[in-house]
Amino acid sequence: MPTYKEFHRRSLADRDAFWNEQAALIDWQTPFTSVLDYSNPPFAKWFVGGRTNICHNAVDRHLATRPDAKALVYISTETDQTGTYSFRELHREVNRFAAALKAQGVGRGDRVLIYMPMIAEAAFAMLACARIGAIHSVVFGGFAAASLATRVDDARPKVMITSDAGMRGGKPVPYKHLVDEAIRLSQHPPAKVIIVNRGLDPAMAVIAGRDLDYATLRAQHLDAEVPCEWLESSEPSYILYTSGTTGKPKGVQRDTGGYAVALTASMRHIFCLEPGDTMFTTSDIGWVVGHSYIVYGPLLNGTTTIMYEGLPIRPDPGIWWKIVSDYKVKTMFSSPTAIRVLKKQDPAYMKAYDISTLKYVFLAGEPLDEPTARWVSDSLGVAIIDNYWQTESGWPILSAQLGVQETPRKFGSPSFPVYGYDVQLLSEATAESVGPEEKGVLTIVPPLPPGCMTTIWGDDERFVRTYFSTFRNRMVYSTFDWATCDADGYYFVLGRTDDVINVAGHRLGTREIEEAVQAHSGIAEVAVVGVADPLKGQIPVAFAVVKDPARVATPELVAAMRKEVMDTVDRELGAIARPGAVHFVTVLPKTRSGKLLRRSIQALAEGRDPGDLTTIEDPSALEQIRNALAGR
Ligand code: AMP
């Protein structure tokens, strides 16, 4: 076995041979003619000329060797349902869904927008798109109609797939209703909407001629056999929208061959899973972790995946450990916030089940603070693997790679650069590498490895401008995170270099939230900053200037206005972006050139020194922030 360092070195120094070997982990209908085409930097094309299909590799390929092995287990503590699908059964369901999509005229390169709760049909729909070469875009169910409409207009889907409703904490959450609303707001609405009706929303409206019931379609295609569309490796597999510093979300575009290879390889080298093992990822299909490690990664590898609809503490805080015990889970993937939620519960729940099959718990999406890491490590007695990555990368950038070498972990560190990634910490001022323990911008020297985003949907220029233009004289990919590396080679991620905040592992742009607040007609101006929160990592806090001071003249009016602002954010963006607090001021701290001093506001909100204020236009603005925070 090579050491992780040797493995990493070879992945960069002998790139073609390395990825050629990894590419053998999947089936190719037509072999590729070259491993990498990097003739047009920073656009990387992996496995050029090769033809493959992700659905074939995730489903059909396993029919020969393990048709009756469990592929997907669906567990809902919201509706008290479970369902188990073998690879054979999964194959049947995906063929039915694929046939239903084809019958609506969906084909190669067409977009399909999926807005669904965590039910098995959501995975069938994703795999069905992959099967027929359609490009799916899954939008997280927590996003409101207006956000959904923005994504519809950018992706221009031919069909949208939804459910009548989801369930959260025992209460139905409407989905189809939001789709109707989004379509009303959209400039480029889809021709058809397919609804998986769970019978949770009796009031659901059906629009004749546009809306189709999935159960009816499925019945029409029960025995359908839909051949896989063999795509050239670089053809897009999916788009996933993510937030940045501007108000407009970016459609992260992923390829086909590179993604299939990268994910399958990661299952072995990082997640230590073999075909037949079981993985339980607690994310949602609307996020990148859900795409990669609920749906594609496990299935590509022939590993059983568990899809869970429910909360970590319902019916009681032992539910995850019960699932681990019942299904003999070997690897779990979750988030630091979820672990912090469990940390507040009775520890007896963690001991109530036999979880001896569990070997690894991977945590990602936000910084894993040392006390939480220590607590979960002590409580479970299994390897806790902090891993760092982004929607853009699609799979870990920094992680221990225990499938390659058993290395000790340090609390607070996601360990080392993963094979394939040429990670460099660069000084913001000079673009030169920083020394040990020195803070630098975490960058990746291109080409980005297989599986990473290949461009921004419909906007190559924005891809280059956004990610590769941080340094004037060096074309490197910026993660927009600060990090240090210690003398042993362990990385420590320190936080974002931009105005993106991370709430419970979900990335939100402060500009996006500001725009949502400003949708309230009574608000003149607003600054939103991320403030440290013991549970969620960060929460958004808004400082708003109202147009008419009379609207916030009494405590009662202030309370009413606060609620209106929060409701506006719920409506415009979704409850995940709702500010934890809204404060009213008459002026915001800005520089003389009109730039918002967000970092100073954030520092005050976290009880820190606001820093250098020589450029501030109106010093009383900071006093107002202080007073607002103190409730004066
Ligand atoms: P997203 O694309 O929404 O998954 O957000 C990615 C961002 O989350 C990264 O750029 C980091 O700021 C943060 N992040 C993800 N994983 C970690 C981690 N293990 N430690 C610290 N920050 C992380």
- Reply yes or no on whether the pLDDT at 615 is more than 90: no
Span 425-496 CATH architecture: Roll (2.30)
Ligand 1 atom closest to Cα of 496? 12
Q: What is the pLDDT of residue 301?
A: 98
Span 501-629 CATH architecture: 2-Layer Sandwich (3.30)
What six digits make up the tokens of 82? Answer: 């479970």
pLDDT range class, residue 631, cuts 50, 70, 90: confident
> Residue whose CA is closest, atom 21 of ligand 1?
367
Q: Please state, in angstroms and rounded to a whole number, the distance separating the CA atoms of residues 254 and 154.
A: 16
Q: Where are the domains of the chain?
A: 425-496, 501-629
Percent with pLDDT over 90 in the chain: 92
> Cα(243) to centroid of ligand 1, in Å?
12
> Cα(367) to centroid of ligand 1, in Å?
7
Q: What is the pLDDT of residue 632?
A: 81
- Mean of all residue pLDDT scores within the chain: 96
The preferred substitution site among 240, 390, 484 for testing ligand 1, maximizing ligand atoms within 8 Å of CB, is 390
> Cα(366) to centroid of ligand 1, in Å?
5
> Cα(530) to centroid of ligand 1, in Å?
15
Q: What is the pLDDT of residue 273?
A: 98
CB atoms within 10 A of CB 375: 17
Give, in order, the Cα–Cα distances in Å from 46 to each of 16, 50, 234, 256, 453. 10, 9, 7, 9, 12
> Residue whose CA is closest, atom 10 of ligand 1?
390
> Cα(494) to centroid of ligand 1, in Å?
10
> Residue whose CA is closest, atom 11 of ligand 1?
366
Q: Please state, in angstroms and rounded to a whole number, the distance separating the CA atoms of residues 362 and 158.
A: 36
Cβ–Cβ under 8 Å, residues 80 and 45: no
pLDDT range class, residue 378, cuts 50, 70, 90: very high
pLDDT range class, residue 244, cuts 50, 70, 90: confident
Ligand 1 atom closest to Cα of 392? 2
Ligand 1 atom closest to Cα of 289? 4
- Reply yes or no on whether the pLDDT at 112 is more than 80: yes
Task: Provide mean pLDDT across the span 238-245.
Answer: 90
Q: Please state, in angstroms and rounded to a whole number, the distance separating the CA atoms of residues 342 and 352.
A: 14
- Reply yes or no on whether the pLDDT at 616 is more than 90: no
Q: Please state, in angstroms and rounded to a whole number, the distance separating the CA atoms of residues 457 and 478.
A: 18
Ligand 1 atom closest to Cα of 502? 8
Task: Provide mean pLDDT across the span 452-459.
Answer: 98
> Residue whose CA is closest, atom 19 of ligand 1?
388
> Cα(501) to centroid of ligand 1, in Å?
10
Question: What does DSSP say about strands 135-138 and 238-242: parallel, antiparallel, or unpaired?
Answer: parallel
Ligand 1 atom closest to Cα of 507? 3
> Residue whose CA is closest, atom 23 of ligand 1?
366
> Residue whose CA is closest, atom 3 of ligand 1?
507
- Reply yes or no on whether the pLDDT at 247 is more than 80: no
> Cα(526) to centroid of ligand 1, in Å?
26
The preferred substitution site among 287, 340, 389, 444 for testing ligand 1, maximizing ligand atoms within 8 Å of CB, is 389
Question: DSSP label at 291?
Answer: I
For 44-102, the DSSP string reads EEEEET-EE-HHHHHTGGGGTT-TTSEEEEEEETTTTEEEEEEHHHHHHHHHHHHHHHH
> Residue whose CA is closest, atom 18 of ligand 1?
388
> Cα(195) to centroid of ligand 1, in Å?
33
- Reply yes or no on whether the pLDDT at 1 is more than 90: no
Cβ–Cβ under 8 Å, residues 285 and 162: no
pTM of the model: 0.95
> Cα(399) to centroid of ligand 1, in Å?
12
pLDDT range class, residue 550, cuts 50, 70, 90: very high
- Reply yes or no on whether the pLDDT at 340 is more than 80: yes
The preferred substitution site among 140, 337, 493 for testing ligand 1, maximizing ligand atoms within 8 Å of CB, is 493
> Which residues does a 6 A CB cutoff place in the pocket of ligand 1?
242, 288, 364-368, 386-391, 414, 479, 481, 493, 496, 502, 507
What six digits make up the tokens of 561? Answer: 């206005």
Percent with pLDDT over 70 in the chain: 100
Question: DSSP label at 575?
Answer: G
Q: Residues 261, 263, 269, CA angle at the centre, nearest 5°?
A: 100
> Cα(310) to centroid of ligand 1, in Å?
23
pLDDT range class, residue 542, cuts 50, 70, 90: very high
